[in-house]
Every structure is written in C-alpha cells, then in structure tokens.
Amino acid sequence: MKKLLVGLVLIASTTTAFAWDRGFHGGYHGGYYHGGGNWVAPALIGGIIGYELAQPRYISPAPVIVAPQTPSVSCPYPYQPVYNTVWTYDSYGRSYATQQFVGCR
C-alpha cells in the first residue's frame, strides 16, 4: 500500500510539473523560455522515494541452534562405550557433528 501511494505521488508531481510548464503557460514567450526551475520538487520527491526504497524492510530473526544431547550409555565394567561421529544438517543447511552410540567395547 505504501509503494502504491508513493508511486501515485511521484506520478502526480511529475505530471503537474510538466502541465504547469508547458500546458498552462506555453513554455516559450517572446523567444525565450520561462519556468526552468520546476525540476526541483520532482527531484526531491524522487530522492526521498529512492532513499526509502533502499532501506531494509525486515529483520530476520537469529537462528536458534539446538544441539542434540548425547545419550549416556552405561556399559559393564571392563567395557567402554564406543561412539561414531555423524555429520547432520539443520533446517538452515548448516552441518554439525553428533555422536552416535555404536556399542560397548
């Protein structure tokens, strides 16, 4: 809605400047040109519109990274748990390492 309003203001300012310059006054009187300063308002409005369109419109939220918990596995006394490193991807396409339990050794 804001872009539509800005576009209409820009079109209205340029068309009224041209109509005032050439339509109502004719532009030329007695061999010389009248009304050479009617470009300032459209240029100012266009600069403001260009500045506003160049500003960022949204702020993306910071991603929330939740690392999966390594399950604690208990093995009998002489044995130790063995883990395998597995690379997985989160919803943003980033990879991270997780430990996967293989067995007791």
Q: 6-49 pLDDT, tens per residue?
A: 777 777 776 655 555 455 555 555 555 555 667 788 888 999 99
Provide the token pair at 99. 């430990």
CA 81-84-86 angle, 5° bins: 145
**What's residue 101's pLDDT?**
86
> What's this model's pTM, rounded to 2 decimal places?
0.30
Q: What is the dihedral of CA 32, 17, 41, 9, to 10 degrees?
A: -170
Closest by alpha carbon to 52, among 97, 9, 17?
A: 9
Which one is predicted more confidently, 65 or 4?
A: 65
**What's residue 48's pLDDT?**
92
